[in-house]
Structure 1
Amino acid sequence: MLIETAPAPKAPLWTRLPVVHQLRQSVGLQRGMLVVGLVITGVFILTAIFAPLLAPYGYSQLRDDSGPFGAQRAPGGEHLLGTTVGGYDVLSRVIWGSQTAITVMVIAIVLSIFAGVALGLVSGYFGGWLDRVLVVICDAVYAFPALLLAIVMGIVISGGRSDLWGGIFAAAISITVVFIPQYFRVIRAETVRIKAEAYVESARVLGASNGRIMFRHVLRNATRTLPLIFTLNASEALLTLAGLGFIGFGIEPSSAAEWGYDLNKSLSDVTSGIWWTSLFPGLAIVLIVLGITLVGESLNDLADPRLRSRRAPGKTTAGVAGTSVVPGGTLNAGPGGIDGLEASSPASDQHPNDDPFEAK
């Protein structure tokens, strides 16, 4: 039985972009979660980029032309969100803090992706004693608490000084070390599966080198799930940075704005009825982690066929040009496609297990 189908029209390039493709694929609650997560994440990124234009004052500014700001001033007037116990403008500290947060997230994720992917690719492809050693090392590193490791790395890298780049790299590198085993496990498992495929064996028979097979054939197909891990790890990186600042190992306010540090300094304000110094930095952390988590969970659901919602059959746009049922005969589906063909026969004449294209 020969079935001839018309080639489906190729979708525009912009519809095949990673996030756009998942957005078009999502339906119902999944689409709502993804849209909300993308909006929150987009606002966070834009705020970090345009922080110098959006912030009314500098992150360490204590006075303007009219004089000092004053400590613990209530929201209103020139300070829309009030001032902190140290005399800093809360709105400016929240806006500038987005730059610090996104810098740590980008550095940590990029370093962990490169290291984890490289180690997982080599371990899964070559196997042997190297694979066993790397698996044991990554499992041992993964057992360390992220926050404890971040504290140790902060002391080693910055020498106890919480300056801008010392604090940023201390948090980023400690997060990187914790994230490497996650990327290693995913890439190693995919590499072990892909290297046994027929096209990899064909490339090896044709004389392709190990490097060409690894980077041309295996790596391209083993990194499809990385965006899911990236989004989930980004929120964890932000929480680790905030935790460092909250326990006193963050970045000093004269070097950069950091939400965890601001929360630490506002603990005594809460008992005095001064709520604005802790509410807005904490709200920023909650919203951004929520937005990134919603994006990650939505992408995870869409990548899993068991969790992905199906579109209604009526929304299928595939068409059939012609079907050769018997030699010399052609059955035309008509403008209704498959639905039109099936509707042309009475429902009572067909058994649920019958093939509508089977020659009678």
Structure 2
Amino acid sequence: MATSLTGSGTTPGTAPARRRRGLPLVRQLRQSVGLQRGMLVAGLVLTAVFLVTALLADVLAPYGFAQLRDAGGAFGAQQPPSGDHPLGTTVGGYDVLSRVVHGTRTALLVIIVAVVLSIFAGVLLGLVSGYFGGWVDRVLVVVCDAIYAFPPLLLAIVVAIVISGGESSLWGGIMAAAISITVIYIPQYFRVVRAEVVRIKAEAYVESAKVIGASNWRIMSRHVLRNATRTLPLILTLNASEAILTLAGLGFLGFGIEQSAAAEWGFDLNRALSDVTSGIWWTSVFPGLAIVLVVLGLTLVGESLNDLADPRLRSRRAAEAGETGEVTVVPGGPLGAGPGGLAGIEEVR
């Protein structure tokens, strides 16, 4: 005789369904309503297209990023869009479509390196500064505030010149751009994490861990770090879009990667400046459009996640849309998800 599970409140397939609903993007999609959901979906689609294009650049691009000829001969400079070159060719004779597609890979590599380095350094410094305080905290705050007050693009130019030393190779240019962007974004992660650590270290569960003799390292890694980094995904998406703009700015000003070493949108725009006045529009429109779409997609995702992380904004958007959205009390999950949480209080309808 089959035993009914209704009384226990569970049914077959409930656990996998809950796990699927608990996935980060799935949870945010279920919480969003109206225009907010449309913005999030549009941002996710644009970001997904960017990622797929970057991963499959060699397959999608009809030619290599530095290819100037094929079996039929040389491509020719500034050729208008045609069957052989759907987006035309540049002043240097490169295929515009291939340069735009391969440029997504360069942008993705710079984003990954810059964001990983920024998070690692910013989180580590913010954790140490907020937890221990004292003179270390004061010195780090002053240094990060000084960096944060410096004009970002000018700082990136200075750091890129110091690091690259005229290097125009693929990885030399990528590392120069990524490290220069990292220097800009470390203070942002530092300030966010430090503020959270200062708040969290006064919580009861941290004090209890100290009483039972837990080491500072264990408290920082097991209790403080996880709760202090819940908002980092929001900053990550916004900084990724800013990293693309900074990379394009460096390339446009001539501090990026040479076109023979890798495809880079900002550098291509720099070389297309003289074309604009001559009525040759395709060499500048498509790299610029790629920058706009990628930045727009990442920004829409970041802004939507930022709204969904704030219960007040979620409730207001739900009321404006005339719907009842699910509202988690704590950004990133229910209160029971972390130490000291209240298990059972998961949603407010």
Residue 243 of structure 1 aligns to a residue whose secondary structure is helix
- In the alignment of these two chains, the number of paired residues is 312
Structure 1 segment 181-196 matched on structure 2, within 5 A: 181-196=187-202
Tell me which moved more, 10-19 or 284-293. 10-19
State whether structure 2 residue 129 is matched by structure 1 residue 123.
Answer: yes
- The alpha carbon displacement at 1:39 in A equals 0.1
Change (3 A) 1:314 1:127: closer
Stretches of structure 1 lacking an aligned partner (at least 5 in a row): 1-5, 317-360
Partner in structure 2 of residue 348 of structure 1: none
Residues 304-325 of structure 1: per-residue CA shift (max 9 Å, x gap): 1221133768788xxxxxxxxx
Partner in structure 2 of residue 160 of structure 1: 166
Partner in structure 1 of residue 177 of structure 2: 171
8 Å contact 1:151–1:244 — kept in the other structure? yes
Partner in structure 2 of residue 36 of structure 1: 42
CA distance in 2 between partners of 1:38 and 1:314 (Å): 23
Q: Which of 17, 37, 54 lines up with 2:23 in the alignment?
A: 17
Stretches of structure 2 lacking an aligned partner (at least 5 in a row): 1-7, 327-349
Residues 144-178 of structure 1: per-residue CA shift (max 9 Å, x gap): 22211222222222211222112111111011011
Structure 2 counterpart of 1:120, one-letter code: G
8 Å contact 2:32–2:325 — kept in the other structure? no
Residue 12 of structure 1 aligns to a residue whose secondary structure is helix
State whether structure 2 residue 285 is matched by structure 1 residue 276.
Answer: no
CA distance in 2 between partners of 1:293 and 1:315 (Å): 23
CA distance in 2 between partners of 1:170 and 1:197 (Å): 41
- The alpha carbon displacement at 1:91 in A equals 0.2
8 Å contact 2:130–2:197 — kept in the other structure? yes
Structure with the bigger percentage of helix: 2
CA distance in 1 between partners of 2:167 and 2:154 (Å): 17
CA distance in 2 between partners of 1:70 and 1:315 (Å): 57
State whether structure 2 residue 250 is matched by structure 1 residue 234.
Answer: no
Change (3 A) 1:178 1:69: same
Please say which structure displays the higher CA radius of gyration. Answer: 1
Partner in structure 1 of residue 217 of structure 2: 211
Tell me which moved more, 66-75 or 142-151. 142-151
8 Å contact 1:23–1:31 — kept in the other structure? yes
Moved runs in structure 1, 4+ residues, more than 4 A?
6-11, 311-316
Using the aligned pairs only, state the percent identity. Answer: 75
Partner in structure 2 of residue 79 of structure 1: 85
Residues 272-326 of structure 1: per-residue CA shift (max 9 Å, x gap): 111000000000000000000000000000111221133768788xxxxxxxxxx
State whether structure 2 residue 333 is matched by structure 1 residue 310.
Answer: no
Q: Which of 62, 66, 70 lines up with 1:64 in the alignment?
A: 70
CA-atom RMSD, angstroms? 1.7
- The alpha carbon displacement at 1:209 in A equals 0.7
CA distance in 1 between partners of 2:27 and 2:200 (Å): 24
